[in-house]
Amino acid sequence: MRTRRVDAGSVGSLLATLPPTADPREVCSWVRRGEGIIGWGRAREFVSHGEQRFAEAQEWWREQVAHAVVRDEVGLPGCGPVAFGSMAYAVGSPSGGTLVVPEVVVGHRGDDWWVSTIGADEIAPEAEIAVQPEAASPEAVAFADGALSSTEWAARVAEAVRRITAGDLDKVVLARDLRVSAASAIDPRWILSRLSERYANTWVFSVDGLVGATPEMLVRLEKGLVTSRVLAGTIRRTGDDDKDLALAGSLARSSKDLEEHEYAVRSVADALMPHCSSMNVPESPFVLHLPNVMHLATDVAGVLRDGSTSLALAASLHPSAAVCGTPREAADALIAELEEMDRGRYAGVVGWMDASGDGEWGIGLRSGAYEPGDPSQMRIFAGCGIVSGSDPEAEVAESDAKLVPMRDALSG
């Protein structure tokens, strides 16, 4: 493998260098505010299932990098051998977990651009970066109910509130899906470009057919520093700045949303604490403003003490209260009972890892998954945290707001 600096010239956009492909699974992306890494092709791939999917993937990756011949001329995060990965939310999901090592990776950070290439021979082939033909917009896109209609899903929310009120659990996150069909193949590059333009503050990702824009960094590990962004508690934006400012204030004072957020922060801090020598957990959240919604957010940080990889840290955090609930076991069981669908890799772990184990792993939110073997069909997802004060109709409205990024990206 060889990583070398390149002159980006007039390229401008990292995502614009992705070449067309007939298979959405061939496209890899992890980009925020124009920086990050993208890749295409499949030099190596590993698939695992069940409880050990994280551990098996990590062991496979360690074996790969141990035998790799690497020439890294840049030395920045995302250089050298890189594996993009996505892991299913549920242990029993047939989606399992996948690590993909692209044949070509292009990276951009600050003033630096680089290209990494993999070859079977001792010297990896060179690759140049250039602006590729623009992706075509999807044709005749239609949306339909997934496992449940909005009315049926609202009834599931009401049942969850009843269970919480009865003391069965404190919080549960319920998700819903929509089915997407188009007249021809949906180019993932189109979705990525639209999401990047409209949601610059998110991590725009694509791994093995899972595409989306997540605002939630589950865990980042870089040179021993561990960070995690927790989002829980949401309110929809109106588009009026003055009204949105007032809504942000009400969100920051909402007992229901603060309660939901506290559960999520506590679950992350408790999971990371055994791996860290010191931690910083802010006492109060801030309000994160996105184009479609606002979230209560808290950034948790720590210093790694046990040598864990970023993927191992992600495994210890998954599923967090932000996508599952509290207590975890009770919430997970209620999700399986009420949602009536397989989440697949929605709300699972998605991101990348380098040869040292450093990397970034987000939660696969605001996302959609291509149906196997048919690039004209997708499922898109959204979920909401349910606590004792939740109102079913309000939760439906919140889920609709969270579906907006993918719906808009697919609609042109």
User: Active site includes 243?
Assistant: no
Residues 348, 379: Cα–Cα separation, whole Å: 15
CA atoms within a 13 Å half-sphere pointing along the CA-CB vector of 91: 8
User: Active site includes 216?
Assistant: yes
103, 216, 339, 395: the active-site residue: 216
Mean pLDDT of the chain: 94
Domains of the chain: 2-410 (3.60.120.10)
Low-confidence spans in the chain with pLDDT less than 50: none
* pLDDT given at position 38: 97
* pLDDT given at position 332: 96
Tell me the pLDDT tens digit for each residue of 23-74. 999 999 999 999 999 999 999 999 999 999 999 999 999 999 999 999 999 9
56, 171, 339, 395: the active-site residue: 171
